[in-house]
Amino acid sequence: MNSRGLSSKELSQELNRVRYRHRFWTIVRNTLYVLMAVASTAVLIAVLWLPVLRIYGHSMNKTLAEGDIVVTLKGSEFDRGDVIAFYYNNKVLVKRVIAESGDWVEVNSEGEVYVNQKKLDEPYVLEKALGESNIKYPYQVPDGQIFVLGDNRATSIDSRNTSIGGVSQEQIVGEIAFRVWPLNEIGPID
């Protein structure tokens, strides 16, 4: 026994308990650091390369519905038919690329879309309609812009209306590439 009345066995147990507590809190602290680093990396990736968006409204119905959650790929090259997200008046809108700079676009009263005098095959359109159009046809897409339309043409406000007009490269968030919610519809966006 020592002067405080502890045996060497009790002293050894107390030392092991203190060491265990120190190891435990070291592991907890290191785990928290790793989790913070992973979360920070995930947020950085989501903001810089893969923004995640939630769909509001019905302008893209058939392809996307209200409440869908999608992943966007950053980029600057888009093909006709790609679904993109872009900034407009502090909102993010989602529409489909129809024509590029210099292309001539015409939408007739039945909602048929022609690009460079060729009728587009649009299986993704919910219902063909002229919609809210106040531009003069044929319309030439200005340099540095793209012409976009929603898939639900009757309700979509898009490049057919001068309030939105053509979309410039600076406005574009990226291409909508993948739906992650709802779970029964997970997959790439066509």
79-135 residue pLDDT tens: 888 888 888 888 888 899 998 888 898 888 888 888 888 888 888 887 888 778 888
Our answer to whether residue 168 is catalytic in this structure is: no
- CB atoms under 10 Å from CB of 75, counted, come to 14
- Given 74, 95, 101, 118, which residue is catalytic? 95
Domain 52-188 has CATH 2.10.109.10: yes
Indicate the helix (H) or strand (E) that contains 46: helix 8-48
Our answer to whether residue 59 is catalytic in this structure is: yes
- Given 3, 8, 40, 59, which residue is catalytic? 59
List for the chain the helix, strand, coil content (%; round to 5): 25, 30, 45
Alpha-carbon distance of 164 to 129, in angstroms, equals: 18
- The alpha carbon of residue 44 and the mean position of all alpha carbons in its chain are separated, in whole angstroms, by 14
Residue 56, SS3?
coil
Least trusted range by pLDDT, from 12-21, 47-56, 110-119:
47-56
- CB atoms under 10 Å from CB of 151, counted, come to 21
pLDDT at 3: 54
State the DSSP string of 5-39.
S--HHHHHHHHHHHHHHHHHHHHHHHHHHHHHHHH
Nearest alpha carbon to residue 94 among 120, 118, 125, 63: 63
The answer, yes or no, to whether the previous bond of 142 is cis (omega within 30 of 0) is no
